[in-house]
Amino acid sequence: SAVISQKPSRDICQRGTSLTIQCQVDSQVTMMFWYRQQPGQSLTLIATANQGSEATYESGFVIDKFPISRPNLTFSTLTVSNMSPEDSSIYLCSVAMTGRYEQYFGPGTRLTVT
Amino acid sequence: AQKVTQAQTEISVVEKEDVTLDCVYETRDTTYYLFWYKQPPSGELVFLIRRNSFDEQNEISGRYSWNFQKSTSSFNFTITASQVVDSAVYFCALSEARSGGGADGLTFGKGTHLIIQP
């Protein structure tokens, strides 16, 4: 497995602003993913972020709203842009080790938009 | 499109009872992967098991066991002699084979909230 950290752990933001969430892994991984978990709900995949290529977004998520960076094999960021109260969720990053299919998740970032 | 159904929203049992969490999946791929994750009240997601579509062998790990049946597209999870610490939300998830190999994004079921009463 891998040790994954996320910053910030939580934040309260005003509508219309943007927040960048960082995901750091203690080992090099090819595959990183970003998920959203709305209050009391399941997890939904936002995008897949592979180092060296553009992020691939799932239906319903667009790059203008959720730009992602993946500058190296241990780090990624997700920005939630022009936030509205509907963006209040837990945002989680996950990684899959090379040759493995199970994903390990970070502790999540709890975002509240007022 | 892939889909995971966990019909049981919430299950409540008394400690030491056995409990089975159901998971039914849909996929058009012949190669896919099934997972169970645990999310305790603290919120972190804990990986429990992965099953490949070509491996229908059931698995037992301590008090946990998993029954994978391709004929019914089910991947059920049984906890034997449940304990209060088993209280959590349990998610079943599916991913299809990624072209070029490697992990693909997960499709999660809605989760089953398991409550173990002392």
* Distance of alpha carbon B5 from alpha carbon A98, whole angstroms: 29
Residue A10: DSSP 8-state? E
* Inter-chain CB pairs, A–B, below 8 Å: 56
Contact yes or no for A101 and B50 at CB 8 A: yes
Q: Is the pLDDT of residue B100 over 80?
A: no
Please give the mean pLDDT across all residues of chain B. 95
Is residue B7 less than 8 Å (CB to CB) from chain A?
no
Residues of chain A with pLDDT below 70 are none
**A42 neighbors B110 (Cβ within 8 angstroms):** yes
Strand, coil or helix: A81:
coil
In this predicted structure, what is the pLDDT of residue B56?
85
In this predicted structure, what is the pLDDT of residue A38?
95
Point out the residue among A30, A42, A92 whose CB comes nearest to the CB of B110: A42
Chain centroid to CA A68: how far? 8
In this predicted structure, what is the pLDDT of residue B76?
97
Contact yes or no for B107 and A58 at CB 8 A: no
Is residue B113 less than 8 Å (CB to CB) from chain A?
no
Q: Is the pLDDT of residue B99 over 80?
A: no
Is residue B31 less than 8 Å (CB to CB) from chain A?
no
Task: State the CB neighbour count (10 A cutoff) for residue A69.
Answer: 14
Contact yes or no for B95 and A101 at CB 8 A: yes
Point out the residue among A31, A35, A90 whose CB comes nearest to the CB of B103: A31
Nearest to B21 by CA among B9, B3, B4: B9
In this predicted structure, what is the pLDDT of residue B20?
98
| Mean of pLDDT values over B15-19 | 98
pLDDT digits 0-9 by tens, B44-77: 999 999 999 998 888 899 999 999 999 999 999 9
Is residue A103 less than 8 Å (CB to CB) from chain B?
yes
Which residues on chain B are in Cβ contact (under 8 Å) with A1?
A: 47
Q: Is the pLDDT of residue B5 over 90?
A: yes
Point out the residue among A42, A98, A101 whose CB comes nearest to the CB of B33: A101
What tokens does B29 get? 């791929």
In this predicted structure, what is the pLDDT of residue B97?
80
